Amino acid sequence: MQLQSFEPATQALLWSGETGDAASEVAAARAALAEWSAQAVTYRAETLRRFANMVRARDAEFAELIARETGKPLWEAKTEVGAVVGKVEISINAYMERTPQRKQEAAMGAKVAVRHKPHGVLAVLGPYNFPAHLPNGHIVPALLAGNTVVFKPSEKTPAVGAMLVDLYREAGVPEGAVRLLVGGPDEGRALAGEDGIDGLLFTGSARAGQALHRQFADMPHKILALELGGNNPLVVWDAADVTAAATIAVQSAFLSAGQRCTAARRLIVQDGKAADALVREMLRLMDRLIVGEPMDSPQPFMGPVIDNAAADHLQAQFLDLMMKGGRVIRRLDRPQEDRPFLTPSLIDVTDVDNSADEEMFGPVLQLIRVADFDEALAQANDTRFGLAASLVGGSPELYDRFWSEVRAGVINWNKPTNGAPSNAPFGGVGLSGNHRPSAFYAADYCAYPVTSSEAEIARASINEGLRDPNMLED
């Protein structure tokens, strides 16, 4: 059966390939595990450094493919390729820091050793919004720890996934150590259900993450790392520079056409003149944003969402907010009905009582006006998610309170909600993850610690609870 990938911006056929079989890919990864895990970590690290060099050598080709298959502007695709390269050295540093070998002296010349072992065969399910960077953020630390990997890219971005695997192999990663499973949801479910995997690393929607959590509930022997979405709040409060605050809000909400799990979904402001000034400044900037094809010149700020189905769903969600009483400040327009281009939108939902707590994965920002900072915090926490939150403005004391009381795994001050650094942990709470942060902390879920008490000479004695040997009968 063929899987095809189409460019979102033009609807042109970009790539096609045969769907794979999860069982055979897992078997191939299992067969390669012993040899790959037996290699020294220095060998695996050098292999992955060669991979980084391979990506550098083909960076223009890789960036163009990412741009065409996702619809994101070429400039943004280039930053993604840079993140793929940077992930290698960051992962090596993280492995050495998070999973080091340690030995401590114990009594009578013995030692206590702590080492780490790979889990085995790990499945990686990748998303479409960062089809190279996000799965690479699982695959590189998994390979470095000695695991083998079966990678199923999103069915919406298989071409990028295939090129990523080609680059691993060109660098010398054995074919069995990283396997490509092409397919759609059925192949993803089959991979997740394979008895032969020792764990699954997933980046995607909360709904899919919940389904995986239920599926793995009776399998505690398998590692499950979930990196899910967010309904992220951006609070603007007593901002000294309204232009900077507006710019941060626009970046947070509309970068990548809003298709980032850390994108701001809710803008929370104190009702009054300051809020009105912020909205005016945001609208001026939003009207300047170029929405266009990835290769356009001048380069657009944002491209289309991933496909027409996603655009249809976002328009339905926006209409639902309107029907519930949301006041449209800037419409979610679709310039071409047969293309998934959407314009940045802003809707005031202050008076909407039953707004759905969901991730609107596109260029939609909901404005909420509040009376005081207590209410701002309550609104920020009024979600089942807990990925990212940001405060723009306020004093250090106010930020300390914001940091202390907001439920999120990424909390920023005077910075956008998105753009988390790779040299720090990345993850959330609630429906945003299962307490296994990725990025710098990915090393934690790619290997498990083994504690050993060791002595070169066996010595043993039992000091209590024995009968006197002189009292024993012959």
- Cis amide bond preceding 298, omega within 30: yes
Contacts of 413 (CB under 8 A, 6+ apart): 390, 391, 392, 394, 399, 402, 403
The DSSP result for 312-364, as a single string, is HHHHHHHHHHHHTT-EEEE----S-TTS-----EEEE-TT-SS-------SSE
What angle, 0 to 180 degrees and rounded to 10, lies between the N-to-C axes of helices 133-144 and 41-57? 150
State whether residue 449 is helix, strand or coil: strand
Taking residue 6's Cβ as centre, other Cβ atoms within 10 Å add up to: 17
Name the active-site residue from 69, 227, 293, 359.
Answer: 227
Taking residue 105's Cβ as centre, other Cβ atoms within 10 Å add up to: 8
What single DSSP character describes residue 371? S
397 among known catalytic residues: no
What is the rounded CA–CA span in Å between residue 376 and residue 232? Answer: 13
What is the rounded CA–CA span in Å between residue 259 and residue 363? Answer: 8
> Within 13 Å, how many C-alpha atoms sit on residue 364's CB side?
30
What is the rounded CA–CA span in Å between residue 345 and residue 259? Answer: 14
Name the active-site residue from 69, 76, 194, 261.
Answer: 261
187 among known catalytic residues: no
Active site residues: 227, 261
